[in-house]
Structure 1
Amino acid sequence: MNTKVEQLFQTFVENANKEDFETLETILNGLVQKQQGNYHTYLAAITNSNATPLENGSFQMTAPIQPLIENPLRIVHGGMTALLLDSTMGSMLAYKLPKDQAAVTVEMKVNYIKPGTGKELICISSVVHIGKQLCMAEGKVYNDKGTLIATGTGTFFIISRK
């Protein structure tokens, strides 16, 4: 095993509280899930985000609210909310585009409406436009009680997959 990693792990364990151990468990579980092929990215794995196409053509991604994604005020960090919007809109476009194409974000706007609190974030995105080079999507983030947390729009550039 890597000596530097062992030292860091030992220091962490010696000083960890209950929340630290729960967060470490979340991260390690995500890394194992990624190794087993259950997630495409490390970020989705360690945040336990799950994506699902919906029957109406929209796309949904969920993420549990946990200390890993909270800011010092104990609400979801705005960057995590933006990440969820970007990931949901981008995943939806990747699902809808031909298999030899992908979409990368070129612009995104987020409007934060309420603090991210509760047990889970649920983001639902839909296509605004798919053109030859650019796509536009929109998304809304809710908490598990149905409260609207944020809305966003994004412009994505279509690229060829390598």
Structure 2
Amino acid sequence: MTFPESPEPLEALQARIRRKLVRQHFMHHIGADLTLIEPGRIEAELVLEKQHQQHTGFAHGGLVATMADLVAGFAAVTLVPEGTGVVTVELKTSYLHPGVGQRLRAVGWVLKAGRRLHFCESEVWCDDKLIAKATATMAVIEPQ
């Protein structure tokens, strides 16, 4: 999906999103980082380590859902003005394959950006295998 040209230059958008990352403590805790920031689209990666595994050695489902939520949420944030936020109001994750490999990569995009709700999708890949797809609804939170 493509979005109309943003009045915000790409470099300014990327800097704004990077500033928001400072307060994303859980994202830092799991070791994830954004690797692509574009209007309506975000990618993130993390190196899979032992603390990310469930009891059989696969990437934990909660981690996979977190990555899906992370990229969907930040994709929505790219389409709201500075000072406005978004929160997840619904997340549905479908697990397609176990996450076995070295690296998780999540890709998220906005399907429809509304005034109050943004509808998003995301995919989570483990190395070169698609392991999960998610749909998310994000509520736009106006500044107080």
Coarse TM-score class (shorter-chain normalised): 0.7 to 0.9
Which secondary structure state, in structure 2, belongs to the residue aligned with residue 96 of structure 1? coil
Unaligned runs of 5+ in 2: 1-20
- What is the one-letter code of the residue matched to 1:102? G
Which secondary structure state, in structure 2, belongs to the residue aligned with residue 139 of structure 1? strand
Match of 1:48 in 2: 31
Unaligned runs of 5+ in 1: 1-37
Quick check: 1:111 aligned with 2:91?
Answer: no
What's the C-alpha RMSD, in Å, of the aligned pairs?
A: 1.9
Cα distance in structure 2, aligned partners of 1:100 and 1:48:
26
Match of 2:84 in 1: 101
Quick check: 1:134 aligned with 2:108?
Answer: no
CA contact (8 A) 2:85 2:142 kept: yes
**Identity rate, percent:** 26
Runs (4+) of structure 1 moved beyond 6 Å? Answer: none
After superposition, the C-alpha distances for 1:41-97 in whole angstroms (9 at most, x for unaligned) are 222222210113355852101111111111111111101100110011101111221
Cα distance in structure 2, aligned partners of 1:45 and 1:76:
17
CA contact (8 A) 2:94 2:133 kept: yes
Match of 2:15 in 1: none
Bigger proportion of residues as strand: 2
The structure with more radius of gyration: 1
Shift of 1:137: 0.5
Alpha carbons of structure 1 residues 112 and 44: separation in structure 2 relative to 1, 3 Å: same
Quick check: 1:153 aligned with 2:125?
Answer: no
**TM-score (norm. length: structure 1):** 0.71
How many residues of Structure 1 are paired with residues of Structure 2 in the alignment?
Answer: 125
Shift of 1:39: 4.0
